[in-house]
Each structure stands twice: as C-alpha cells, then as structure tokens.
C-alpha cells in the first residue's frame, strides 16, 4: 500500500478484519510464506468465533494446540489463489491503490539493484582511470582516432601494428609471444616485449605511444607510467638521500605493467654514466619481471648504442622480442607562432 493517504490507511485500520488480513498478507509477502499466513488468518477467524463458547465452558483459547475447540486441526500448505486474490481486491477497494504483485516487486528491486551496481561500477572505473592518468605526461588529444596517417601506407601499417600490440598486451606479459619467421617456423618468446619508436622531430612518436597508453588504461585498466627520461632521472636523483622512497620509486619503475620512457638521448645527446647505469638497470629489471616497455628517441639504431652506453644497450638487447619502428612522415607541428613564420 505504498503511497496511500492517511484517509486510505484509516479506512483499512478502522476495520479490524481488514486490518488483520492486511497485516497477515504483508507479513506473508515479507516472509515469503503467504500461504501459511493466509491459512493462519483464517484460523484466527475460527478462533474469534469460538471465543463466546470458550468463555461459557471456561476453556482457554490461548494455547493454540491442535484439537482444542475453535482451532483448526491442521494448517494447509497449499496456496488459495482465490482467497489471496479476494484479499488483495478488498485491500485495493479500501485504499483505492493497486497492490503490486510479488513478481513486479521482485523485478523492480532487481532492476534498481542492477542500476545501483552499474552506477557504483562506473564510479569505481572513473576513479581508477583518474588515478591511472595521474602517472602519465600525455595529452588528452593523443588518441588513435586523432592520428593523421597522411595517406602514408607505412604509417597506417605502424598504427595497425600498435593496435595489435595493445590487443596482445596481456598475453605478452604473461605467456610471451609466438612469432613465425619467413620459413613459417614458430618461436615462443619469454614474457616482456620492447616497442622502440624512433624518428625525426614532430612525426608523432609520443602521440602514438600516448594513444597506446590511453587505450590500455581506458579499455583494460592497465597501470601505465608515461614519463620523459629527464623526469624519471631527476626524481631518482632527488630521492637518493631517502632510501625508502628511492627504492619504492625504483621498484615501481621496474614492475609497473607498462613503462613508457620518452625523449631518451634527446637530440642525439649522450647520457651521463649515472644515467646509463640507471636506465640500463630499469630496462634489465623490467625484462626479468616480464613487463612490457616502450622507449622513444630521436636517435636511430645506428647511433643509439654510442649515446646510451654498452650496459644500457645490452639491457635493451636482453629483451627477447624487440620491435624497433621508425615513425615515418613529415613534421606535423605548426610552422607559425602568431604572425611569425618559422623557416624550415
């Protein structure tokens, strides 16, 4: 009788028979045993009718034991649909409100529960995604949908490879990859792959890696750390005096599901000995932990060994499966700042 007015409620409550029947019916719905309660209510009618005779004989009717005068010999377990329907009709006539069936109430409850669970899941997803995004130095614009392939077949092929790499990401970090050579021979590689993107300024290396990171976080909730190498190294230097924080940060770099290191040996600048050691240690540990890694550099494979040093280069070679891809195309950055045009 949800939503009934005070007058409607009074109309029911002022009639002792309707009140008792309504209470019995509602208790039956709540307890999931309408049949037993309805029969008990019918027994109460019989008990009320027997009270005057009990008063004459001095017999007590409070015991409720089977066989006493005014008590039913047994309670039927079968549901009287006609009786239940009549009871519902009497309540509806008294209140002017329709009584919803148990199935309707159950379906409404389940629908509400599903909606509540969906809202909670969406909120949990939103908070998780926000937390993941905090660890990335990437633009919101860096999405595959915003990639400009410039009608370049090589660029389109690279984008297709990156989408497949995203799809196979979890397999690459758990089972390893199975690749075939030109003769059709299949080889299984241990977990942990390295995607190496290199090329000229402005061709879209960071944007491509950012699109990979966005897709992995948004669709698979993969933990991603996307930083420029200078940012990583500077923080390591700042934390060296705090041993606990230093090793916690270092462990995160070595174990996060995807680490993207941008601007390695930027503008063909050679790393310092300390940088070579730290970068090599991070890359080697990640491979040993079976974690996928992306490195980005302007330097091509011919000069990168000299710029990063032997130890770091050997750490890269430690990956059993390396995908070195040159990002082709023109410099996509604007050539003007206001009215000033940049030559070249």
Q: What is the pLDDT of residues 137-171, one digit of tens each?
A: 888 899 999 988 888 899 999 999 999 999 888 88
Q: pLDDT band at residue 197, thresholds of 50, 70 and 90?
A: very high
Residue 165's nearest CA partner among 221, 213, 207 is 213
d(CA 283, CA 292) in angstroms, rounded, equals: 10
Crossing angle of helices 310-317 and 273-288, rounded to 10°: 20
Spatial neighbors of 125 by CB under 8 A, at least 6 apart, are 221
| Residue 112, both tokens | 């509400």
pLDDT band for position 38 (50/70/90)? Answer: very low
Model pLDDT, residue 78: 44
Is the pLDDT confidence value at 275 over 70? yes
* Percent of the chain whose pLDDT exceeds 90: 38
């Amino acid at each position: 009788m949800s939503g009934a007015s005070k007058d409607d409620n009074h109309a029911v409550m002022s009639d002792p028979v309707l009140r008792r029947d309504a209470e019995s019916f509602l208790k039956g719905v709540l307890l999931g045993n309408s049949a037993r309660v309805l029969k008990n209510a019918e027994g109460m009618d019989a008990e009320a009718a027997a009270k005057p005779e009990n008063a004459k004989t001095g017999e007590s009717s409070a015991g409720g034991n089977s066989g006493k005068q005014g008590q039913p010999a047994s309670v039927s377990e079968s549901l009287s649909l006609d009786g239940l329907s009549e009871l519902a009709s009497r309540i509806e006539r008294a209140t002017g409100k329709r009584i919803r069936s148990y199935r309707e109430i159950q379906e409404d409850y389940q629908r509400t529960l599903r909606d509540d669970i969906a809202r909670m899941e969406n909120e949990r997803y939103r908070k998780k995604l926000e937390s993941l995004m905090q660890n990335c130095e990437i633009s919101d614009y860096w999405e595959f949908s915003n990639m400009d392939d410039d009608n370049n077949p090589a660029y389109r092929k690279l984008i297709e490879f990156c989408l497949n790499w995203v799809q196979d990401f979890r397999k690459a970090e758990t089972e390893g990859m199975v690749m075939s050579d030109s003769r059709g021979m299949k080889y299984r590689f241990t977990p942990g792959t390295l995607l190496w993107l290199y090329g000229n300024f402005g061709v879209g290396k960071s944007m491509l890696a950012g699109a990979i990171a966005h897709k992995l976080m948004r669709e698979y909730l993969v933990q991603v750390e996307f930083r420029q190498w200078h940012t990583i190294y500077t923080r390591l230097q700042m934390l060296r005096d705090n041993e606990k924080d230093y090793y916690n940060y270092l462990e995160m770099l070595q174990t996060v599901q995807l680490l993207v290191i941008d601007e390695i040996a930027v503008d063909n600048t050679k790393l310092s000995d300390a940088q070579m050691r730290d970068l090599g240690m991070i890359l080697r540990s990640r491979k040993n932990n079976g974690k996928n890694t992306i490195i980005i550099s302007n330097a091509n494979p011919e000069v990168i060994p000299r710029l990063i040093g032997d130890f770091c280069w050997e750490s890269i070679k430690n990956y059993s499966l390396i995908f070195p891809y040159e990002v082709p195309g023109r410099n996509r950055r604007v050539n003007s700042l206001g009215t000033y045009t940049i030559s070249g």
